[in-house]
Amino acid sequence: MHNYLMRVQYIGKNFAGFQKQSNHPQDEKTVQGEIEKVLKTVLRAPVNTYGAARTDAGVNALNQYLNFYYDDLIDYYWLKNKMNHLLFDEGIFVKEVREVPITFHARKSAKSKIYAYLVSSDLENSMFLMPYVYIYKEPLDMNMLKIALDGLKGKHDFSIFANVDKSQKDRNNICELFDTGYIERGSLTILYFHGDRFLYHMVRRMVYYVLKGAQGYIDTRILLDPFSFGKKVPFTRQVLPPEPLFLVNVIY
């Protein structure tokens, strides 16, 4: 038995999320479902894959990882080319295939993940990046943006940025953000978040919150330590569009 790791990228708008769902209608495509379908065609046997991150519908990935088990040795280059021939038009590209230790698991072995969200106020220069950029209308104070992002770092209960679900009272909302920040590239601002785990819609809620903070709508005392204010923290419920969100990498 061999354990193979596959690194892929994909355009999220083409799929109803990454994870294959047993209750999904057959016409709702998922990234994992399409990859398994092609693996079955190429290897002539059903294959189950295990993904690193369960990205939502519309969310893109620059580096997503899957592992799968297979009895025989596989030529990595051959498999990569065969899969790309069948997957490229669907919006999936296989970047790498390699063998890993039998104990490796794409999700369970992951130490952290990095996400990025693209924003801009420049309609003209963002036209050809649409729909991968969120357009904001009011100017940002970049010093306040940094304060807002820095205030999210550390190990906290991120319930204020989590979905309200009374059926999941025992859900673990503790996450640790190792780093947050932004990079400016011309008219484009890339907000990034590096953490051990992320809750459903957490990144898209945090982006809206830090943008409102940088636009002067949130008291600086809250921005410095939002977790001390609990439910009093404003602008934490809005979920921004998924298309400007990218899974940048998974760290092992």
The phi and psi torsions of 198 (rounded to 5 degrees) equal -135, 140
Spatial distance between the Cα atoms of 112 and 110, rounded to a whole number of angstroms: 6
- For the chain, what are the domain ranges? 2-100, 112-251
Domain 2-100 has CATH 3.30.70.580: yes
Report d(CA 187, CA 174) in Å as an integer: 34
Which of 27, 56, 157, 219 is flagged as catalytic?
Answer: 56
Q: What is the 3-state composition of the chain as percent helix, strand, coil, each rounded to the nearest 5? A: 30, 30, 40
How much is the pLDDT for 175?
Answer: 98
pLDDT for 129 equals 83
Give the E-state strand segments of the chain in sequence order: 2-10, 49-51, 60-70, 92-100, 112-120, 134-135, 154-157, 174-185, 188-195, 245-251
Encode pLDDT of 149-182 as tens digits.
Answer: 999 999 999 999 998 766 566 779 999 999 999 9
Which contiguous run of DSSP H or E holds residue 143? helix 142-150
Q: Are 235 and 217 in contact (CB under 8 A)?
A: yes
* One fold for 2-100 and 112-251: yes
- pTM of this structure: 0.94
Query: pLDDT digits over 14-65, tens only?
Result: 999 999 877 655 668 999 999 999 999 999 999 999 999 999 999 999 999 9
Any catalytic annotation for residue 56?
Answer: yes
Q: What is the CATH class of 112-251? A: alpha beta
The CA-atom distances, in angstroms, between 2 and each of 78, 101, 123 are: 16, 8, 50
State the Rg of the chain over Cα: 20
Residue 182 is labelled as binding a ligand: no
